[in-house]
Amino acid sequence: MTIEQEKRVVERMIRLYCRKYEKNQTLCSACKALLDYAHLRLSRCKYGDAKPTCRLCPIHCYRPDRRKQMQQVMRYAGPRMLMYYPKDALMHLWSELMNGRNRCSY
């Protein structure tokens, strides 16, 4: 996936988590901060458009607290993406398959 595609997918996942799990009508400040952080990391990703999915990235550039926050979002939103955004979910799965087996939880 390209950086722009990844940005769109991560935004959908964070918004889904905030709306459905946290029951917020609009994106809360904690999720907004996570989204801004994730987009910034993606903009600075050293792999560019040839990047692996962040979950399988060998260097994983997230700082520990943000990584933990993202793991929580992914645990909820990951399986639900197939229902809400099947195209994005399948693209993401395909990208992971192309990048080998799971190495970490996010």
User: Minimum distance between the CB of residue 36 and Zn ion, rounded to whole angstroms?
Assistant: 13
Helices (H), 1-85: 3-16, 29-43, 64-84
Sign of the Cα torsion 40, 76, 17, 73 reads negative
**Sign of the dihedral defined by the CA atoms of residues 84, 82, 4, 23, in that order:** positive
Count of residues of this chain found to bind Zn ion when the rule CB under 5 A is applied:
4
Q: Which does 42 bind (CB under 5 to 8 A by kind): ligand SF4, Zn ion, none?
A: ligand SF4
Contacting positions for ligand SF4 (CB under 6 A): 41-42, 45-47, 51-52, 54, 57, 59-61
Q: Does 13 bind Zn ion (CB under 5 A)?
A: no
- Judged by CB under 5 A, the chain residues 24 through 83 that form the site for Zn ion are 28, 31
